[in-house]
Amino acid sequence: MDMLLLLLLVFSCHGSWASQDSQVPQKLWVAPYNFSLDSSSHQLHTSWEVKGASVSFLCAFADFAMVEIGFTGKEQELNSGNSWAVQCEEQEVGDKMVVEVDITKYRVQPFKSYKVCISLEDPTSGSYLRRVCTHLFSFERAVPYVPTIKKAEEAVSAKLSTEKQSEANSESEREGESENESEVEKESEKESEKESDLRSQEEAERRGSDLQRVLEDTRHFVRDDFSKVERALEEPFFNKGRILGSSKEFFLTLGIVLMLL
């Protein structure tokens, strides 16, 4: 009986120890492996050895920081203001973690000391990693500060201003085309009116000339008729070289005159 109680006590203690061990945060091991700095592009390339977790897990949940050490030895964590300053990925060949840092996204100063650090504390997975840093490095020359956010805002502003200018130019072109079309229509109407006036004037002149010709023909016709009447009247009475032969010829002449009238 005592032996049975002892075994139960041992098993219960073992279960409690196992549960306590499962609640202990999982410890990771990370150490810097390689370090290089490109002086022309100001890109910092680091590689790290990882144990106890996957590289993708660390890249997703770990905290990466650029730390500045002042002349008094005080450490200050720099803030880049954007998430593009640090790029983390798994090495193509091997199982190391590659972390690249764009130094131009930080306000760094020459002859001051800096280091890149990694830390992790994830209560959900129970993972914990104390801060691990590279060795100290410094810059002999000033590094240009090029914040991505400001450049993006400037690019967006420039794009918006360009679009507005394009819209304004398009609107001006449309208005100019409308004005040109209106002017062309007005000019066409004026030309049509001029042509119509010219045609009317030519028609009136033609009709006037026709009427003048008719009047001239009528005048000539009447003049010819009166000339005939005058000659007919003059011949029997005022022709000195001729004497009427008989009364029949006189009445014949008078009849012709009356027919002409």
In a domain, 43, yes or no: yes
pTM above 0.75, yes or no: no
In a domain, 59, yes or no: yes
Q: Domain with 75 in it: what CATH number?
A: 2.60.40.10
Helices (H), the chain: 2-23, 55-61, 148-238, 247-260
Give the three-class secondary structure for 250: helix
Residue 141 within a domain: yes
In a domain, 35, yes or no: yes
Collect the ranges in the chain with pLDDT lower than 70: 1-26, 83, 148-156, 214-215, 217-251, 257, 260-261
Tell me which residue range forms the domain holding 85.
23-146
Residue 248 lies in a domain: no
The upper half-sphere exposure of residue 32, i.e. CA atoms within 13 Å in the direction of its Cβ, equals 19
Helix, strand, or coil (residue 88): strand
Residue at 217 is within a domain: no
Total number of domains constituting the chain: 1
Domain assignment present for residue 126? The answer is yes
pLDDT per residue as tens digits for the range 65-101: 999 998 888 999 998 777 688 999 998 877 899 999 9
